[in-house]
Structure 1
Amino acid sequence: MSLESVQSFLARSAPELAIIDQGASTATVAEAAMALGVEPARIAKTLSLKVGDETLLVVARGDARLDNRKTRDALGGKPRMLDADTVMALTGHPVGGVCPFGLATPLPVYCDISLRAFTSVFPAAGSRTASVEVTPDRLAEITNAQWVDVCTLPPVGGDAG
């Protein structure tokens, strides 16, 4: 059902975008990068968070880490990751396939400015084997996302872990 909700969303909002189903796991940044043949940083991971009383999604580049201070400054509170059951219930997507498209529950979406380092990025598409290639600006446009600075990048030559 999750992949189908993404297909329906993209058909309405971005018919030019095609879902890439690798038939292999893209559930982690490393697996997605390997399956798609791109650097891990170009994987657009979607983080499901609770900040204060608000549940929201942050889309960031694959090697970025959520920064508590930056998140507090930008979004008004300390971020807390949601558990897998809550993520599935709210987004309709399984962990490893979470994306800001075709959500079961309307949620605010934020795109971290780290995505802007790339001409295109690869968010998941509602399943653990599917992705979509999209420009960061188009990603923000079709999800009505706001741009924020809530992540830190690894040191140059550092671990993308």
Structure 2
Amino acid sequence: MSIEKVKAYFEKYSMEDRVREFEVSSATVELAAQALHCEPCRIAKTLSFMVNDQPVLIVAAGDAKIDNSKYKAAFGTKAKMIPPDAVEDSIGHGIGGVCPFAVKDNVKVYLDESLKRFRTVFPACGSSNSAIELTIEELEKYSLYTAWINVCKGWNENNQ
């Protein structure tokens, strides 16, 4: 199971006890915010894309949306999400639990600028009822991210 892979990953850093599991679903931004009793914007949603046959994850704030023109400028191609039935094979986690931890070796992780306004955020942990609270520095460290990017809109007046 995917959450077990994530817990094993965090075990290397003695952080597996920080992974939270809920009695309710946290598969969407709204459900995760309810389960965690936090603002939806602090949910670090992980979106799955294909860029020239390369699986790519973009971790963004819960209130951010992909801006197609910014995405094309960053990746040189149109945004193409991985079909739901292919996400687990491509990334290593299924829909609702996709996260930037314990992913397949060929997956590149990018962090969107929309996250930088928070001290801590809540990414999923491989299942549709899990999350972990991480500082931005911890997210950088444990996601093994490739780069910070600016491909989202809708999260502040200056970034519409």
1:37-116 to structure 2, matched below 5 A, reads 37-116=37-116
The corresponding residue for 1:151 is 152
Give distance in 1, aligned partners of 2:121 and 2:83: 25
The corresponding residue for 2:140 is 140
> Normalising by structure 1, what TM-score?
0.90
The corresponding residue for 1:34 is 34
Distance 1:101 1:155, change over 3 A: closer
Verify: 1:2 aligned to 2:7, yes or no.
no
Give distance in 1, aligned partners of 2:96 and 2:54: 22
Letter of the 2:141 counterpart? E
The gaps in structure 1 that reach 5 residues or longer are 157-161
Cα offset, 1:105, TM superposition: 4.3
Give distance in 2, aligned partners of 1:9 and 1:106: 17
Distance 1:58 1:125, change over 3 A: same
Q: Is the 8 A contact 2:54 2:106 kept in 1?
A: no
The gaps in structure 2 that reach 5 residues or longer are none
The corresponding residue for 2:14 is 15
Cα offset, 1:154, TM superposition: 4.5
Provide the aligned C-alpha RMSD in A.
Answer: 1.5
Letter of the 2:14 counterpart? P
> Normalising by structure 2, what TM-score?
0.90
Q: Secondary structure, in 3 states, of the residue corresponding to 1:81?
A: coil
Q: Secondary structure, in 3 states, of the residue corresponding to 1:48?
A: strand
Letter of the 1:148 counterpart? I
Deviations, residues 103-158 of structure 1 (Å, cap 9, x unaligned)? 144310000010011100000000000101001221122222110001012466xx
Divergent runs of 4+, >3 A: none
Which has the larger displacement, 146-155 or 127-136?
Answer: 146-155
Give distance in 2, aligned partners of 1:89 and 1:108: 15
Distance 1:155 1:119, change over 3 A: closer
Give distance in 2, aligned partners of 1:154 and 1:101: 24
Cα offset, 1:15, TM superposition: 2.5
Percent of pairs with identical residues: 41
Cα offset, 1:51, TM superposition: 2.2
Give distance in 1, aligned partners of 2:100 and 2:67: 20
